[in-house]
Amino acid sequence: MSTPPPDLSIELGSLALRNPIMPASGCFGPELGDVVDLERLGAMVTKTVFAEPRSGNPAHRLAETYAGMLNSVGIPSRGAEAFIAELLPRYRTWSPPLIVSIGGLTIAAYLEIAARLAGVAGIAAFEVNVSCPNLEAGGLEIGAVPEVVEAVVRGVVERVDVPVIVKLTPNVTSIAAIARAAEAGGATAITAVNALMGMAIDGRTRRTRTGTPTAGFTGPAIKPVALRCVWQVAQAVAIPVIGVGGIATVDDVLEFLLAGASAVQVGSATFTRPDTMLRIVTALETRLADDGVASVRDLIGALEPGPSAHDLMPAQAG
Amino acid sequence: MVGASAGATGSLPRLARLPETGPSAPRVAPPALLEAAVVTHGLIAPEYWRLVLDAPAIARTVEPGQFAMLTVARGEESWPVLPRPMAIYGWDRAGGRIEIVYRVVGEGTRRLTRWSCGDRIVTVGPLGRGFVLLPAAQRIVLLGRGIGTCSLTALAGVAAARGIAVHALVSARHSDALVGGEAYRAAGAVEVREVVDTDGSSGVGPVGAWLAENCRTGVDQIYACGSDRLLRLALEMARATGTGVQVSLEAHMACGLGFCHGCATGHPGLVEESPLVCRDGPVFRHLPSAPVA
């Protein structure tokens, strides 16, 4: 008797994906299509687009750390018009839904980029990157203040007619409170989490190893933090959660699904091996079939209460 | 070009992309992703290792000055996260092999030394825009220091095969760190000058005099990699004589393909991002009229 292959499809509000695997913003671009088949992805996510061009940070922008990496790329963007004219047509070569990440340095700047990209063909959803410094609040991250997040999300939702996903920063006191603000603002889904704020110093030169003193910390090292954030967000809101942070294997994906994620993003692991996302899609199908799980949706938030039996101390014999 | 170490590039002069089309445009074929089997791997000098990979899809189209990204993480390991960009030192198109010479400078390259014959390394290449030989070139000068020479060796072979006279300078801290001289001689370079810090022969004075002597007798292009000091000498000569300069830059990289923007060359302006080493380079040209920082 043959069983049908497991169903990998998931939904983020009105956005239907054939599988839950997509890239993390900043770790993906049409150039990846030169070496891997992007048709097999659940969705595509762009690097963050700003309304106006910006140059990004000075060199060095990258540093390797224990089980992770730091980046101080600083989100260079060629602006909305160059994105529409040059980058968007390249993405449209592939069929998975395109999620366009947008950013700004003031609340008004988010509304501006949303307005400029609203109604543009080929954009399936927006992901609002609220991990940018708020120039109106002394550089405090936009995503650190619930009221600001709610205002940004509400303003973007009012201006566009596709689902709005909000990507949260982990560098906050209560990510649950920020997630509730995003939901109140009308978000369709929440992505958790962006890079942790990190730092690396070269003891010999007595200088930081990146061009800006602090940098975004990503990679396998941040997975436990990201997993905790996803779980807390999933407890706090009713909308779907997209998990991201240190995901490199199918086991990582299963953990994020159990914690409450409906989909996942792969970031730094695409640098390690450009075909990581495709390896995961293949492995996920195999794993679900092996485990007799009919649909990936059966795993979302299916975390059992209490710790794994393997973690319990053995009973002391008399 | 090798990514494991890179000096601050902010003080470098303004460099431009090589042309997109025409006889001075580099030839660029789409890169391939493959699990390349290690054919030969071993120490060739203290700190310097030679790695030969079975990589037909790369060997088929690679051009001098291009590079490959080598994943350091093994098997199912998910870190070290960043692959290492490595200049392609030489290749055998018919045999489908590429050769890389690298220096152990940190944890990534130290781990790289553990790969043995038959192991398969996740490799992407050929990447970047390499060196260009001008159609009418008759005589060229190659200036390489340390591991930077490994970006230039393949160029010598292609140039010599076209009948171009190659004058190569190999500079290093000490004689154990001189790499590439043999490759130059095997390629048919008419002159290979090896200089080191320990006896002062690598100083700006003697090297500058050698370069000036070469340029006086006519040089069509200067190619440099691995040293800001050598590059500055080349640029001085360029300003004095009008000789064009191509330079290969190094940077830390994550994607190697151009989407991560991790390898911008230097301090950018207010609006426009500075060129990316992986996508716009690693080889850039210096225009003789451009200001020298």
**CA-based nearest distance B210→chain A, Å:** 33
Cβ-contact A220, A239 below 8 angstroms: no
- Is there a catalytic annotation at residue A132? yes
Of these residues, A132, A215, A230, A237, which one is catalytic?
A: A132
pLDDT given at position B290: 44
Instruction: For residue A26, give the CATH number of its domain.
Output: 3.20.20.70
Q: A304 and chain B: CB distance < 8 Å anywhere?
A: no
Percentage with pLDDT > 70 across chain A = 97
Question: Is the confidence at residue B4, as pLDDT, over 50?
Answer: no
Interface test with A, best of B9, B58, B79 (most A CBs within 10 A): B79
- Residue A318 maps to a domain: no
pLDDT given at position B12: 52
State the average pLDDT over residues A12-37: 97
Question: Is the confidence at residue B268, as pLDDT, over 80?
Answer: no
Q: Searching chain B, which residue's CA lies closest to the CA of residue A58?
A: B267
Phi, psi of B107 (to 5 degrees): -60, -40
Q: A286 and chain B: CB distance < 8 Å anywhere?
A: no
Cα–Cα distance measured from residue A115 to residue A156, given in angstroms and rounded to the nearest whole number: 8
Cα–Cα distance measured from residue A138 to residue B135, given in angstroms and rounded to the nearest whole number: 56
Query: Token pair for residue B241?
Result: 């004589």
State the average pLDDT over residues A108-121: 97
Query: Token pair for residue A28?
Result: 């993906």
- Residue A3 maps to a domain: no
Of the CA atoms within 13 Å of residue B169, those in its CB half-sphere come to 31
| Whether A61 and B262 lie within 8 Å, measured CB to CB | yes
- Residue A131 maps to a domain: yes
Question: Is the confidence at residue A312, as pLDDT, over 80?
Answer: no
Cβ-Cβ contacts under 8 Å, B81 against chain A: 64, 67-69, 218-220, 268-269, 271-272
Cβ-Cβ contacts under 8 Å, A250 against chain B: none
pLDDT given at position A133: 80
State the average pLDDT over residues B32-55: 96
Cβ-contact B85, B43 below 8 angstroms: no
| Whether A59 and B81 lie within 8 Å, measured CB to CB | no
- Residue A289 maps to a domain: yes
- Residue A312 maps to a domain: no
Interface test with B, best of A210, A251, A271 (most B CBs within 10 A): A271
Instruction: Quickly tell me which residue has 């018009």 as its tokens.
Output: A81
Nearest by CB to B83, from A34, A76, A272: name it.
A272
- Across chain A, which distance is largest between two alpha carbons, in Å? 75
Question: Is the confidence at residue A313, as pLDDT, over 70?
Answer: no
Question: Is the confidence at residue B10, as pLDDT, over 70?
Answer: no
Q: A282 and chain B: CB distance < 8 Å anywhere?
A: no
Burial B238-270 (b: 16+ CB within 10 A, else e): bbebebbbbbbbbbbbbbbbbbbbbbbbbbbee
**Mean pLDDT comparison of A72-86, A124-138, A237-251, B256-270, highest-scoring range:** A237-251
Cβ-Cβ contacts under 8 Å, A57 against chain B: 264
**CA-based nearest distance B6→chain A, Å:** 9
Cα separations (Å) of A233 from A82, A102, A240? 35, 21, 9
Q: Which residues contact A127 (CB under 8 A, 6 or more apart)?
A: A25, A45, A99, A100, A101, A102, A165, A166, A167, A191
Query: Could you tell me how many residues make up chain A?
Result: 318
Nearest by CB to B259, from A29, A57, A61: name it.
A29
Domains of chain B in sequence order: 32-127 (2.40.30.10), 130-286 (3.40.50.80)
**CA-based nearest distance B199→chain A, Å:** 27
The CA-based angle A59-A60-A66, given to 5 degrees, is: 160
**CA-based nearest distance A65→chain B, Å:** 8
Cα–Cα distance measured from residue A186 to residue A188, given in angstroms and rounded to the nearest whole number: 6
Question: Is the confidence at residue B271, as pLDDT, over 90?
Answer: no
pLDDT given at position B9: 42
pLDDT digits (tens, 9 = 90+) for B207-251: 999 999 998 888 999 999 998 899 889 988 888 888 899 999 999
- Across chain B, which distance is largest between two alpha carbons, in Å? 56
Cβ-contact B145, B226 below 8 angstroms: yes
Q: Searching chain A, which residue's CA lies closest to the CA of residue B274?
A: A55
Cβ-Cβ contacts under 8 Å, A37 against chain B: none
Q: A317 and chain B: CB distance < 8 Å anywhere?
A: no
Query: Token pair for residue A260?
Result: 């409450």
Nearest by CB to A56, from B76, B107, B261: name it.
B261
Q: A270 and chain B: CB distance < 8 Å anywhere?
A: yes
Cβ-contact A291, A302 below 8 angstroms: no
Percentage with pLDDT > 90 across chain A = 88
| Whether A220 and B79 lie within 8 Å, measured CB to CB | yes
Task: With CA atoms as reference, report the closest residue to A36 among A23, A18, A24, A19.
Answer: A23
pLDDT given at position B16: 86
Cα–Cα distance measured from residue A216 to residue A198, given in angstroms and rounded to the nearest whole number: 6
Quick check: helix, strand or coil at residue B172?
Answer: strand
**CA-based nearest distance A140→chain B, Å:** 22
| Whether A62 and B268 lie within 8 Å, measured CB to CB | no
Cβ-Cβ contacts under 8 Å, B268 against chain A: 55-56, 58, 76
Cα–Cα distance measured from residue B151 to residue B226, given in angstroms and rounded to the nearest whole number: 9
Query: Token pair for residue B250?
Result: 């190094």
Q: Which residues contact A64 (CB under 8 A, 6 or more apart)?
A: B80, B81, B82, B106, B107, B108, B252
Q: Which residues contact A309 (CB under 8 A, 6 or more apart)?
A: none
| Whether A220 and B266 lie within 8 Å, measured CB to CB | no
- Strand bridging mode A164-168 / A215-218: unpaired
pLDDT given at position A139: 76
Q: A224 and chain B: CB distance < 8 Å anywhere?
A: no
The CA-based angle A163-A165-A168, given to 5 degrees, is: 170
Query: Token pair for residue B196?
Result: 């080191």
Domain tally for chain A?
1
A225-229, B44-48, B286-290, range with the lowest pLDDT: B286-290
Cβ contacts from A onto B, under 8 A: 142
Q: So what's the ipTM on this one?
A: 0.93
Cα–Cα distance measured from residue B233 to residue B217, given in angstroms and rounded to the nearest whole number: 17
**CA-based nearest distance B242→chain A, Å:** 30
Cα–Cα distance measured from residue B186 to residue B188, given in angstroms and rounded to the nearest whole number: 5
pLDDT given at position B11: 47
pLDDT given at position B242: 85
Phi, psi of B96 (to 5 degrees): 70, 30
| Whether B76 and A249 lie within 8 Å, measured CB to CB | yes
User: Residue A267 sits in which domain range?
Assistant: 10-303
pLDDT given at position B13: 61
Helix, strand, coil % in chain B, rounded to nearest 5: 20, 30, 50
Question: Is the confidence at residue B270, as pLDDT, over 90?
Answer: no
pLDDT given at position B280: 94
Q: How many helices (H) and strands (E) does chain B have?
A: 6, 14
State the average pLDDT over residues A108-119: 97
| Whether A271 and B83 lie within 8 Å, measured CB to CB | yes
Cα–Cα distance measured from residue A196 to residue A170, given in angstroms and rounded to the nearest whole number: 6
Question: Is the confidence at residue B7, as pLDDT, over 60?
Answer: no
pLDDT digits (tens, 9 = 90+) for A171-188: 999 999 999 999 999 999
pTM attached to this predicted model:
0.94
Question: Is the confidence at residue A108, as pLDDT, over 60?
Answer: yes
Question: Is the confidence at residue A311, as pLDDT, over 70?
Answer: no
Cα–Cα distance measured from residue A221 to residue A224, given in angstroms and rounded to the nearest whole number: 8
* β strands within chain A, DSSP E: 10-12, 15-17, 21-23, 44-45, 62-65, 68-71, 98-102, 125-129, 164-168, 189-192, 196-198, 201-202, 207-208, 215-218, 241-244, 261-266
- In whole numbers, what is the pLDDT of chain A averaged over residues? 94
